[in-house]
Chain A
Amino acid sequence: DAKTTQPNSMESNEEEPVHLPCNHSTISGTDYIHWYRQLPSQGPEYVIHGLTSNVNNRMASLAIAEDRKSSTLILHRATLRDAAVYYCILQPYSGAGSYQLTFGKGTKLSVIP
């Protein structure tokens, strides 16, 4: 299975940008890169996903390296509500394992007021 590596924890000041890194050196050509986050006492929440090109949505931006071996989730202005565990997940487009999400340990983001 393709695996991801993330820092255990990160800190950010409120209203500053946050760059959350993820390494996935064994990614295959059909793996999508997904990001989810989980706030305390809630279920995981979808943030963003992409394949090769950078992606933007209302929550965040996803920057994908040209060789696709790493990616960065960018929160443009961190708020206290962004304090959560962020998971970077590889999901194949089809075939075995394409339905389920395999969550690792993620990065616990703390936001300092």
Chain B
Amino acid sequence: DVKVTQSSRYLVKRTGEKVFLECVQDMDHENMFWYRQDPGLGLRLIYFSYDVKMKEKGDIPEGYSVSREKKERFSLILESASTNQTSMYLCASSLGDRANQPQHFGDGTRLSIL
């Protein structure tokens, strides 16, 4: 089975801090994704990557950046954390030969910005 591992289940940071969320997948998937999930708003795509060093903006990239230096690892960076970035963050991966492939999710990181 595919395993997508997020580095922390819970994280508490302060306003203005630079925050790194890490995600690792073990199935050699080309595509990796970062979503955030908020009550009443569903999942919203922040960024995705279809190859090493490649990235595409999703629906809500403002205030975030990403890094994909190795195929198995995709990092989400909050450049200067703000309270409106308190949320559940979900990482996912999928095969890259076709766009329409099932996505496999990690269990999420619940991030609180104080």
- Tell me the A residues contacting B by CB distance below 8 Å: 32, 34, 41-46, 49, 91-94, 98-105
Instruction: Out of B31, B50, B56, B105, name the residue touching A44 (CB < 8 Å).
Output: B105
Counted as pairs of residues, one from A and one from B, with CB atoms less than 8 Å apart, the total is: 54
Q: Please classify the interface of chain A as helix (H, G, I), strand (E, B), loop, or mixed, using the class held by over half of its residues.
A: loop
A81-B17 Cα distance, complex, nearest whole Å? 39
10 more CB-based (< 8 A) A-B contacts, given A43-B106, A98-B100, A100-B33: A42-B107, A43-B4, A43-B90, A49-B102, A93-B100, A94-B98, A100-B45, A100-B48, A100-B59, A101-B43
A24-B44 Cα distance, complex, nearest whole Å? 20
Chain B residues lying within 8 Å of A100, measured Cβ to Cβ, are 33, 45, 48, 58-59
The reply to whether the CB of B68 lies closer than 8 angstroms to some CB of chain A is no
- Check B90 against A44 for contact (C-beta < 8 Å): yes
**Distance between A26 CB and nearest chain B CB, rounded to angstroms:** 18
- Tell me the B residues contacting A by CB distance below 8 Å: 4, 31, 33, 42-43, 45, 48, 50, 56, 58-59, 90, 92, 98-100, 102-108
Which residue of A has the minimal Cβ distance to B6?
A: A43
A43-B93 Cα distance, complex, nearest whole Å? 12
A-B contact pairs, 16 of them (CB 8 A): A41-B107, A42-B107, A42-B108, A43-B92, A43-B105, A43-B107, A44-B43, A91-B100, A93-B98, A94-B99, A98-B99, A99-B33, A99-B48, A99-B99, A101-B43, A103-B43
**Distance between A51 CB and nearest chain B CB, rounded to angstroms:** 9
Chain B residues lying within 8 Å of A41, measured Cβ to Cβ, are 107
Known: A101-B43, A103-B43, A105-B42. A92 touches B100 (CB 8 A): yes
Chain A residues lying within 8 Å of B48, measured Cβ to Cβ, are 99-100
Which residue of A has the minimal Cβ distance to B106?
A: A43
- Check A32 against B100 for contact (C-beta < 8 Å): yes
